[in-house]
């Protein structure tokens, strides 16, 4: 089965397309080969999980185009090579956590969440967009999600890829890891969860978290605050999370869906966040609790 990346701007349509592509990839044996039948318009959530899956399973994908070469698909560039990234060159970025000690893992992910927002801002050539969004939106979106990878994922690899489209003043950030996923993380922490969907529903609806503090459970705030910040009429954005065979999507148009993935499962967690140029400067503190 070949892969298809169409031209839809609708993030929910692209999530559906991604699930179809992951299903196609999962039918290919490790070390196998596939190709793109269509590449209309590449966006982070369309391509990053494919890159990660192909890398993890040593799958060769033919018919890649020059844009995919420029973003170093599928291998990506390592966080240690951040200094090579220029203003017209913003590749898939990978934090290899495989052989790192606990301190080494934390160091790599700390570096990612400190440096990546600066790199992303440097690659956005629209001062009005940057002024209105400010530093804090980038820091908040990236740091909360990287912190979840650091605290809960037990991942060997973490990836991030972002794009800014000047034509419609919008930005999309996709992060993912190949760790244990939300369900297993909560289960390991002794929480009462039955499967991927149950775990995700409890994270979204009840703010269930794997965190403990002084012997009692803590409620999670990272995803909640991220949703608050994105799904409003300032950033006009969207948020999506996929873990195992469950997903959740919300946007500022009132679409709010849990998603059941059939015949495919992501080992780890995928996060996609998108937003547009706000009408005025965004105060992130209005959206945090």
Partner 1 sequence: MSIFDKHINLQKEFDVSALNNRATAKKLVKSIQSSWVNTVVLDFSDIEFASRSFLDELNSHLPHIEKEVKKTNMNASVREMDELVQQPNRQAHSPLNNSESYSESELLTF
* Residue 11 near residue 171 (C-beta atoms within 8 A): no
Our CA dihedral for 74, 153, 85, 122, rounded to 10 degrees, sits at: 120
Binding of residue 82 to partner 1 (CB under 8 A): no
- In the window 149-168, what residues touch partner 1 (CB under 8 A)? 150-151
CA distance linking residue 200 with residue 243, whole number of Å: 8
* Residue 230 near residue 241 (C-beta atoms within 8 A): no
Binding of residue 232 to partner 1 (CB under 8 A): yes
Binding of residue 15 to partner 1 (CB under 8 A): yes
Our CA dihedral for 23, 260, 186, 151, rounded to 10 degrees, sits at: 60
3, 19, 45, 124: which one binds partner 1 (CB under 8 A):
19
56, 126, 147, 154: which one binds partner 1 (CB under 8 A):
147
Give the angle 253-256-258 at the CA atoms, nearest 5°: 155
CA distance linking residue 226 with residue 136, whole number of Å: 12
Binding of residue 194 to partner 1 (CB under 8 A): no
x/- mask, partner 1, residues 240-269, rule CB under 8 A, reads: -------x--x-x-x-xxxxxxx-------
Nearest distance from C-beta of residue 33 to partner 1, angstroms: 25
Binding of residue 101 to partner 1 (CB under 8 A): no
CA distance linking residue 49 with residue 287, whole number of Å: 29
* Residue 284 near residue 137 (C-beta atoms within 8 A): yes
Please name which of 248, 90, 246, 263 lies closest in space to residue 165, comparing C-alpha atoms: 90
Strands 256-260 and 246-251: antiparallel
52, 185, 231, 276: which one binds partner 1 (CB under 8 A):
231
x/- mask, partner 1, residues 103-132, rule CB under 8 A, reads: ---x--xxx-xx--xx--------------
Binding of residue 16 to partner 1 (CB under 8 A): yes
- Cβ proximity to partner 1: between 151 and 154 the closer is 151
5, 120, 140, 171: which one binds partner 1 (CB under 8 A):
140
Instruction: By CB under 8 A, name the binding residues for partner 1.
Output: 15-16, 19-20, 106, 109-111, 113-114, 117-118, 135-136, 139-140, 143-144, 146-147, 150-151, 201, 204-206, 213-214, 221-222, 224-225, 227-228, 231-232, 247, 250, 252, 254, 256-262, 285-289
């Amino acid at each position: 089965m070949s892969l298809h990346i169409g031209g839809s701007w609708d993030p929910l349509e692209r999530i559906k397309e991604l699930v179809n592509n992951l299903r196609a990839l999962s039918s290919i044996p490790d070390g196998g080969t596939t190709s793109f039948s269509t590449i209309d318009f590449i966006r982070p959530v369309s391509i990053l999980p494919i890159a990660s899956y192909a890398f993890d399973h040593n799958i060769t994908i033919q018919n890649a185009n020059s844009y995919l070469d420029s973003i170093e698909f599928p291998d990506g560039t390592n966080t240690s090579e951040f200094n090579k990234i220029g203003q017209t060159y913003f590749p898939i970025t990978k934090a290899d956590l495989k052989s790192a000690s606990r301190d080494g893992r934390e160091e790599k992910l700390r570096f990612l969440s400190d440096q990546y927002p600066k790199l992303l801002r440097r690659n956005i050539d629209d001062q009005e967009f940057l002024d209105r969004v400010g530093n804090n939106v980038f820091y908040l979106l990236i740091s909360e999600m990287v912190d979840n990878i650091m605290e809960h994922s037990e991942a060997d690899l973490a990836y991030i890829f972002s794009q800014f489209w000047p034509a419609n003043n919008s930005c999309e950030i996709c992060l993912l890891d190949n760790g244990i996923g939300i369900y297993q993380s909560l289960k390991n922490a002794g929480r009462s969860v039955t499967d991927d969907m149950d775990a995700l529903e409890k994270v979204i609806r009840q703010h269930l978290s794997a965190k403990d503090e002084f012997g009692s459970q803590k409620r999670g705030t990272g995803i909640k605050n991220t949703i608050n910040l994105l799904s409003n009429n300032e950033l006009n954005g969207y948020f999506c999370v996929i873990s195992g065979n469950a997903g959740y999507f919300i946007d500022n148009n009132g679409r709010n869906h849990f998603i059941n993935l059939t015949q495919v499962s992501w080992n780890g967690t995928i996060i996609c966040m998108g937003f547009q140029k706000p009408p005025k400067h965004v105060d992130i503190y209005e959206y945090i609790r």
